[in-house]
Amino acid sequence: MFLAINPIAFSIGPLSVRWYGIILGTAALVGLLLAIREGKRFRMSPDFFMDLVLIGVPSAIVGARIYYVAFKWEDYQDNLWKVFAVWEGGIAIYGALIGAIIAAVIYVRRKGYSFWRIADICAPGLIIGQAIGRWGNFINQEAHGGVVAESFLRNNLHLPDWIVNQMLIEGQYYHPTFLYESLWNVAGLLLLFVLRRRSFLRAGELFFSYFIWYSIGRFFVEGLRTDSLDFTGPSWLAALMNGMWSPMTAFGFEPGFMTYGGNVRISQLLAVLIVLAAFVLIIVRRRTGAASERYSAPIVRIGQAPEEASKAGDADTRPNGTKEADIKAKE
């Protein structure tokens, strides 16, 4: 396979540092900085979000691997050691989100905060992290779509040479699905920035908005890919998924082939279910009063009065961090 861009950024003796790792590290850092900056508006300590990342990233990796292995168990059941061979590929973004969310729920609850409030603050960081992280797939020439003509990339999409050349894999050009998803996520970031300043937004709804936006884009991009996890479902389900994706053909896109011979892409089905679940949760939480708290309201620990939180926040922002140290000592 010809690589227009060397996947190894640099080497120190026998140790090789890959661009993929650098890009993922940058994605996590940018997401963290966004969360810290928004957290300061609510007088939250940056250490809280740094600890959350340290817990969330490993949990995301484990979740991503478990998700993939669970759906491709036949490839691992006779050789369990391959389950741990993540360097051979085989991780899934939805699994990463599940792993990270489970870890975040436990961590946030132990700290005494509402998960929904913290999830709202982290939502922009999640989507920009995914936008940046997709460029790691670009470097590795993976997670691409089906075969296209070079003229499609140059004349229809007007892509620069360095992207077109990297999409040349074993003599054929492919859809740069990493780019489609990355740009969709950048647009989603801007949308979340706008939404979080709207007075109508309730606790948890920015997080739900992130899932809705991401899942819609993922549904359509996934249909182009040639490495999707898939299964053989009922004909009506396959027809429904194909019908929902069919508007893409109006823009000159053709669906990628099913990697494992099924007729339903798991990520597409999950994307549809997530969008429906998110809308249902927004409606139910509003009608039951569970979403009575607005996004702009002060963030307080469970059982703590707002005025107490304000005083604690003032102390947390002092240079010597006296109050934060006292809180940690009590914990």
Would 326 be classed as within a structural domain? Answer: no
Residues 126 and 269 placed together within one structural domain of the fold: yes
- 7 is a domain residue: no
Residue 139 within any structural domain of the chain: yes
The per-residue pLDDT for 72 is: 79
Do both 146 and 27 map to the same domain? no
**80 shares its domain with 57:** yes
Q: Per residue in 116-155, pLDDT tens?
A: 999 999 999 999 999 999 999 999 998 899 999 999 999 9
CB-hemisphere CA count at 13 Å for 177?
27
Tokens of 164: 């077109």
The pLDDT value recorded for residue 83 is 78
Can you give the pLDDT at residue 307?
Answer: 57
Q: Kindly state whether residues 147 and 92 are assigned to the same domain.
A: no
Q: Tell me if 148 sits within 8 A of 174, measured CB to CB.
A: yes
Do residues 108 and 125 both lie within one domain?
no
The domain total for the chain is 2
Same domain, 280 and 139: yes
For the chain, which residues score pLDDT lower than 50? 1, 312-331
Residue 129 half-sphere exposure toward CB, CA atoms < 13 A = 25
Look at the alpha carbons of 55, 93, 125, 29 in this order and tell me if their dihedral is positive or negative: positive
Residue type, 298: P
Q: Quick one: pLDDT at residue 252?
A: 80
CB within 8 Å of 9: residues ≥ 6 apart: 17, 18, 19, 22
Q: Give pLDDT, residue 304.
A: 63
CA 173 to chain centre: 26
What is the pLDDT at residue 311?
55
Last residue of a domain, one of 113, 131, 164: 113
What Rg, from alpha-carbon coordinates, does the chain have? 22
The answer to whether residue 129 is domain-embedded is yes
**117-121, long-range: CB < 8 A, 24+ apart:** 117/42, 117/203, 117/204, 117/293, 117/299, 118/52, 118/299, 119/204, 119/206, 119/207, 120/196, 120/203, 120/204, 120/205, 120/206, 120/207, 120/295, 121/35, 121/38, 121/39, 121/42, 121/44, 121/49
HEC secondary structure over the chain: CCCCCCCEEEEECCEEEEHHHHHHHHHHHHHHHHHHHHHHHCCCCHHHHHHHHHHHHHHHHHHHHHHHHHHCHHHCCCCHHHHHCHHHCCCCHHHHHHHHHHHHHHHHHHCCCCHHHHHHHHHHHHHHHHHHHHHHHHHHCCCCECEECHHHHHHHCCCCHHHHHHCEECCEEECCHHHHHHHHHHHHHHHHHHHCCCCCCECCHHHHHHHHHHHHHHHHHHCCECCCCEECCCHHHHHHHHHHHHHHHHHCCCCCCCCCCCCEEHHHHHHHHHHHHHHHHHHHHHHHCCCCCECCCCCCCCCCCHHHHHHHHHHHCCCCCHHHHHHHHHC
Domain assignment present for residue 314? The answer is: no
Q: Are residues 44 and 156 in the same domain?
A: no
In the chain the first and final C-alpha atoms are separated, in Å, by 54
Taking only the tens place, the pLDDT of each residue in 163-201 is 999 999 999 999 999 999 999 999 999 999 999 999 999
Question: What is d(CA 100, CA 318) in angstroms, rounded to the nearest whole number?
Answer: 31
Annotated binding site: 134
pLDDT number for residue 71 = 80
**Residue 323, pLDDT score:** 44
* Statement: the pTM of the whole predicted model exceeds 0.75: yes
Q: Are residues 150 and 98 in the same domain?
A: no
**Residues 166 and 56 both lie in one domain:** no
What's the domain range around 101?
17-113
What's the pLDDT tens digit per position in 64-77? 889 888 887 887 87
